[in-house]
Amino acid sequence: MRLTRAGEYAVRCVLYLSAQEEGKIVRRRDISKTMGVPGQFLGKIAQQLSRAGFLEIIQGAKGGIRLTASPMELNLLDVVEAIAGELSLNDCIIRPESCSRNDLCSVHLVWQKARRQLRETLREATFESMLQTDSRMNTDLLVQ
Amino acid sequence: MRLTRAGEYAVRCVLYLSAQEEGKIVRRRDISKTMGVPGQFLGKIAQQLSRAGFLEIIQGAKGGIRLTASPMELNLLDVVEAIAGELSLNDCIIRPESCSRNDLCSVHLVWQKARRQLRETLREATFESMLQTDSRMNTDLLVQ
DNA sequence: GCTATATAGGATAAATATGATCCTATTTAT
DNA sequence: ATAAATAGGATCATATTTATCCTATATAGC
| DSSP code per residue over A44-74 | HHHHHHHHTTSEEEE-STT-EEEE-S-TTT-
Distance, CA of B60 to CA of B20 (rounded, Å): 21
Write down the mean pLDDT value for chain A: 87
Q: Which residues contact B8 (CB under 8 A, 6 or more apart)?
A: A90, A91, A99
Say which residue, B135 or A123, is predicted with more confidence. A123
| pLDDT surpassing 70 at residue A103 | no
Say what the pLDDT of residue A102 is: 52
Say what the pLDDT of residue A134 is: 55
Q: Do B107 and A141 touch (CB under 8 A)?
A: no
Pairing mode, if any, of strands B55-58 and A55-58?
A: unpaired
Say what the pLDDT of residue B139 is: 47
Chain B span 85-124 residues with beta carbon within 7 Å of strand D: none
Q: Where are the alpha helices (DSSP H) in chain B?
A: 5-19, 28-35, 39-51, 76-84, 91-94, 107-124, 127-132, 135-137
Q: What is the pTM of this model?
A: 0.89
Which of B107, B109, B133, B140 to mutate against chain A (most A CBs within 10 Å)? B107
| pLDDT surpassing 50 at residue B62 | yes
How much is the average pLDDT of A80-102?
74
Whole-number Å distance, CA A63 to C1' D27?
A: 8
A36 touches strand D (CB under 7 A): no
Cα A143 to chain centroid distance, Å, stands at 20
Say what the pLDDT of residue A94 is: 54
A4 touches strand D (CB under 7 A): yes
Each residue of B38-54: pLDDT tens digit?
999 999 999 999 999 99
How much is the average pLDDT of A85-100?
70
Helix H or strand E encompassing A110: helix A107-124
Whole-number Å distance, CA A136 to C1' D15?
A: 40
Say what the pLDDT of residue B108 is: 86
Distance, CA of A124 to CA of B106 (rounded, Å): 13
A41 touches strand C (CB under 7 A): no
Q: Residue A62 — pLDDT band, cuts 50, 70, 90?
A: very high
